[in-house]
Amino acid sequence: MSRTQQILVPFAAILAFLGLWEIIVWVNGWPNYKMASPSDLGPAFWKYRAMFLEMGWQTLWRTVAGLALAVAFGTFLGMLMGFSALARAALYPLLVGFNAIPKATLVPVIALLFIGQHDFNTVLMAFLISFFPIAVSVGIGLSTLEPEYRDILRALGASRLTIFRKIALPKTLPEFFGALKVSVTLAFIGTNLVEIVSPHGRGLGALFKSGETNGDYPLMFGVLIALAFLGIVLYYGVVVLERVFAGWAERPQH
């Protein structure tokens, strides 16, 4: 695919999707209060532009903060599980069990624990929902490192830290970024869960809630599109980081 194609094709696909949406709403003759159509979204965005910017920023920074925590903690857990079979045996059931809990059930628990700490609660939820894939992939990446990779440095008397820094860490980067792509979208879900469910919330989730309360369907759909947009931005942010730090893992296509 040529460079222009790489840019044009995704845009064409998005336009086609919006067109299809518009047609379905038009054919069915759905009014605004049943299903908004893309042509309603422009005016909604314009009308609430200040809100979108403010709330969008709130959602964005909380998501990124939660994600940063998830990266730090997930990498730490992954290192524990990757280097120690004991830690792996102890942590895996706990982690899987925790991950299986629908995070919506944790919202009231967190809200009660930290009453009124809205920013903190939101960041915490984004973190809780997104560290699991990172921990698992880093753990697997480290524990499946072929012994020869360790031996070429260990035979020279290199310390465990040196082996980790020079070999294990860079070798795990492709798996890490794969997990980070999953975590990015998960963190978004976590942020919005709290923003929607908790009263007097802020962020795009709260804007969605207020749209629902006022029966403003174009606003609600506008929020969904804004969320999708932010998700795409963050996702491709990770892709750029991946290119920079793990671009070597991408084999040239023949």
Among 128, 173, 204, 223, binds other proteins (CB under 8 A): 173
Site string for other proteins, 37-56 (x = CB under 8 A): --------------------
Q: How far is CA 36 from the centre of its chain?
A: 26
Alpha-carbon distance of 188 to 182, in angstroms, equals 10
Alpha-carbon distance of 92 to 253, in angstroms, equals 37
Among 45, 61, 83, 149, binds other proteins (CB under 8 A): 149
For other proteins, the closer of residues 11 and 146 by Cβ is 146
Question: What are the tokens at 170?
Answer: 């860079």
Judge residue 137's burial from the number of C-beta atoms within 10 Å of its C-beta, 0-12 exposed, 13-18 middle, 19 or more buried: buried
> Do 202 and 213 contact (CB within 8 A), yes or no?
no
The window from 35-43, 47-55, 86-94, 158-166 that contacts other proteins (CB under 8 A) reads 158-166
By CB under 8 A, residue 148 contacts other proteins: yes
By CB under 8 A, residue 166 contacts other proteins: yes
Site for other proteins (CB under 8 A): how many residues?
22
Among 93, 97, 116, 157, binds other proteins (CB under 8 A): 157
By CB under 8 A, residue 249 contacts other proteins: yes
Nearest 5 degrees, angle CA 217-CA 236-CA 50?
40
Site string for other proteins, 193-232 (x = CB under 8 A): ----------------------------------------
The window from 94-102, 123-131, 198-206, 246-254 that contacts other proteins (CB under 8 A) reads 246-254
By CB under 8 A, residue 88 contacts other proteins: no
Q: How far is the CB of 1 from other proteins (least distance, A)?
A: 21
Q: What is the largest CA-CA distance in the chain?
A: 75
Alpha-carbon distance of 168 to 200, in angstroms, equals 46
Q: How far is the CB of 208 from other proteins (least distance, A)?
A: 42
- Sign of the four-CA dihedral 82, 87, 89, 95: negative
Provide the 10 A C-beta neighbour count for residue 95.
Answer: 17
Least Cα distance to 201 among 179, 223, 171 occurs for: 223
Which residues bind to other proteins, rule: CB under 8 A? 146, 148-149, 151-158, 162, 166-167, 170-171, 173, 246, 248-249, 251-252
